Each structure stands twice: as C-alpha cells, then as structure tokens.
Amino acid sequence: MSILKAFWQDDCPRCPQMKDVVQQLELDGYEVECFDLNTVNGLAEGAYYSVMSTPTLLLVDGEDNELAEWRGIIPTAADVKKKWETN
C-alpha cells in the first residue's frame, strides 16, 4: 500500500500550492501524511527521508521505500496519480 508523504514549512512561498495538490489527492481518496518541518515530528521524518528543500512530496510503499519523489517542485495531482497507479 502506497502513501504520499508531504513536507512543508510555514515560510515556504510554494508550499501553499503544494498543500492544494495534497488536499485534492486526499479528497480523491489517496492516503497522505503531512509533515511540518518546523515541528519535532516533521523534522525527524524529514531527516529520515533526507528532505533538504520544500515543498517535498514522496510516494513510498509499505516498507518506506521511495517509489517517486518531487523535491523542491510541485507536481500536479494528475502527475502524482499517474506515478501512484504505475507503482
């Protein structure tokens, strides 16, 4: 089972647009976990996945293997769905 992990920071100018994409995916029934890198939990999760820029979206499988990544860029919901369906 795949999960989309979304990482952002409050001062990131592109993160609100990424949050819109994430919200659309959630409304469409996709499982998403969101992490604010300004929190301890978000920072720990970001360190685990070597998140160095925001926004970052990672598609991972049930064993935390990365299946697709968007680091510092914002994909469309359709792009994420396409990767999700091919993995």
Tell me the HSE value of 57 on the side-chain side, using a 13 A CA sphere.
Answer: 28
Tens digits of per-residue pLDDT, 34-73? 999 999 999 999 999 999 999 999 999 999 999 999 999 9
Range of the domain at 37: 3-86
CATH classification at residue 39: 3.40.30.10
Nearest by Cα to 8 from 27, 82, 28, 39? 39
d(Cα 11, Cα 34) in Å, to the nearest integer? 16
Taking residue 22's Cβ as centre, other Cβ atoms within 10 Å add up to: 24
Number of domains, the chain? 1
pTM (predicted TM-score): 0.92
User: What pLDDT does 1 receive?
Assistant: 83
User: What pLDDT does 32 receive?
Assistant: 97
d(Cα 9, Cα 38) in Å, to the nearest integer? 6
